């Protein structure tokens, strides 16, 4: 009987998806589920919801709730799997800070959770917390697998794999929906006969191959994309595909801020041309908070609350490890020659196989040279941010920001340093002290 510990269980809807999936999986249905959070109200809401759901699904799982840092070891003790979905600093104050301080320098963002100045500081306040988790895990559940869903994925997963002995894999939603999104957006059918290969880095992995019954679909895809003239939400990705030859996994609003080409104060017309939603993540946060307030009672009190298994990877990975029935997925792991033209030790996103032996990443081979080049511009930022977090040296923060494609395209070195100092001050105790 496995034990599944969910860190950040106050993410009630996501907890329902991952843990509801587990309750519907025969190999996991009788698991002990430990819910951990530092927010008592959010934790209790998730506990109530999952107890309700468990009853309706047969009541085989055992659900426990653990509040606060003082109970964290008990939540982790004896765990087989640890699912991480924390958000350090939440929307307020930290996400607001990530957006509003850069605006004073004319630096605009869309999501700010993966790269850019917002992604850097999100990592800097999150990595120390995850390293605390790792120290506890090494003591009380050294054999557990750590399934990380928290962004910035590459920075956090890379830090865990570089600095701890915890068995870690990063999981993202974008890989499994990439091909479907592309085809359906172009009016092309998607079904099980479609085969694809994706590899690169998180949120900038490349659809290297896509075919149906052995026929390459890229020529038709590129023809349809070139003909599309309507305003839509995938315009940045179409432009990347046009210029670099391959479609990229993550959404246009994300990718707009991973490169120096799209959000530029000197060219404000690009925002309209590529339909780029500035300040998109704060808008989503506000909407999600309002939505949860309106649906809370229904979810918590609904007597017939049920669940259908989602496409989230977590339960399928855990099932594969419990049953030894292999499951293939896109995972974030350290590059050990898997993609030879990306830096050794960088966090890469490649096809992986889960089974009783754990997670085995697969060899991809070299990426197209232009795709690897683009990935490296992002990896530079990720590696320097990890170094900043692990060493406490402020210079690495400055250097990460200087190497960031979007930040460097907009600001001078002096402004970048000043911006970093302002963000350090604004975040206050949410960050450790840097020297």
pLDDT tens digits, 90-118: 999 999 999 999 999 999 999 999 999 99
- Answer for the pair 350, 361: CB distance below 8 angstroms, yes or no: yes
Q: Which pLDDT tens digit goes with each residue over 144-183? A: 999 999 999 999 999 999 999 999 999 998 999 999 999 9
pLDDT, tens digit, for every residue of 57-78? 999 999 999 999 999 999 999 9
Query: For residue 297, what pLDDT is reported?
Result: 77
Q: What are the domain boundaries of the chain?
A: 175-273
DSSP states of 296-312 as a string? Answer: HHHHHH-TT------S-
Over residues 387-410, mean pLDDT = 98
pLDDT at 114: 98
Helix pair 413-427, 96-103: axis angle to 10 deg? 140
Q: What percent of the chain has pLDDT over 70?
A: 100
Between the alpha carbon of residue 228 and those of residues 222, 235, 255, 275, the distances in Å are: 10, 10, 20, 14
- Is 173 one of the catalytic residues? yes
Q: What is the pLDDT of residue 303?
A: 77
User: Cβ of 425: how many Cβ atoms within 10 Å?
Assistant: 11
Torsion (CA) 54, 58, 61, 65 in degrees, nearest 10: 20
Written as six digits, the tokens of 135 are: 């120290």
Q: Which residues of 182-205 are buried (b: 16+ CB within 10 A; e: fewer)?
A: bbebbeeeeeeebebebbbbbbbb
C-alpha span between 393 and 314 (Å, rounded): 35
11 vs 90: CA distance, rounded Å: 11
Residue 18 scores a pLDDT above 90: yes
Contact 87, 257 (CB under 8 A): no
Cβ neighbourhood burial of 57 (10 Å; 0-12, 13-18, 19+): middle
Supply the pLDDT for residue 291: 87
Statement: residue 357 has pLDDT above 80? yes
What's the chain's average pLDDT? Answer: 96
Q: Of 173, 203, 303, 307, which one is the catalytic site residue?
A: 173
pLDDT grade for 304, boundaries at 50, 70 and 90? confident
């Amino acid at each position: 009987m496995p034990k599944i510990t969910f860190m950040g269980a106050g993410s009630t809807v996501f907890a329902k998806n991952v843990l509801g999936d587990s309750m519907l999986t025969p190999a996991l249905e009788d698991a002990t589920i430990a819910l951990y959070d530092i927010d008592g109200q959010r934790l209790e809401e998730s506990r109530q919801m999952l107890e309700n759901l468990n009853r309706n699904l047969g009541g085989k799982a055992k659900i426990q709730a653990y509040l606060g840092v003082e109970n964290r070891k008990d939540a982790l003790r004896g765990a087989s799997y640890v699912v991480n979905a924390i958000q350090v600093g939440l929307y307020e104050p930290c996400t607001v800070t990530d957006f509003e301080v850069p605006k004073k320098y004319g630096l605009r963002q869309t999501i700010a959770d993966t790269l850019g100045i917002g992604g850097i500081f999100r990592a800097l306040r999150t990595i120390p917390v995850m390293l605390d988790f790792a120290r506890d895990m090494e003591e009380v559940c050294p054999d557990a697998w750590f399934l990380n869903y928290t962004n910035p994925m590459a920075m956090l997963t890379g830090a865990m794999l570089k600095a701890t002995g915890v068995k870690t894999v990063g999981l993202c939603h974008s890989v499994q929906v990439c091909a479907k999104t592309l085809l359906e957006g172009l009016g092309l059918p998607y079904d099980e006969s479609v085969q694809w290969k994706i590899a690169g880095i998180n949120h900038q992995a490349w659809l290297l191959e896509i075919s149906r019954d052995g026929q390459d679909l890229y020529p038709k895809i590129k023809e349809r994309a070139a003909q599309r003239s309507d305003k839509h939400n995938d315009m940045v990705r179409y432009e990347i595909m046009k210029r670099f030859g391959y479609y990229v996994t993550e959404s246009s609003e994300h990718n707009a801020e991973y490169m120096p080409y799209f959000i530029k104060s000197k060219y404000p017309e690009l925002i309209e041309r590529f339909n780029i939603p500035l300040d998109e993540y704060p808008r989503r946060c506000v909407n999600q908070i309002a939505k949860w307030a309106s649906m809370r009672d229904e979810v918590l009190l609904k007597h017939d609350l049920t669940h259908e298994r989602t496409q989230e990877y977590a339960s399928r990975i855990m099932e594969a490890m419990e049953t030894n029935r292999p499951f293939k997925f896109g995972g974030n792991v350290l590059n050990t020659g898997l993609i030879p033209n990306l830096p050794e030790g960088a966090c890469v996103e490649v096809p992986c196989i889960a089974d009783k032996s754990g997670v085995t990443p697969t060899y991809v081979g070299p990426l197209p040279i232009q795709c690897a080049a683009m990935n490296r511009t992002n990896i530079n930022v990720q590696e320097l941010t990890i170094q900043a977090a692990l060493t406490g040296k402020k210079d690495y923060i400055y250097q990460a920001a200087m190497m960031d494609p979007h930040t460097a395209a907009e600001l001078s070195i002096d402004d970048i340093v000043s911006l970093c100092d302002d963000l350090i001050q604004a975040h206050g105790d949410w960050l450790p002290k840097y020297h």
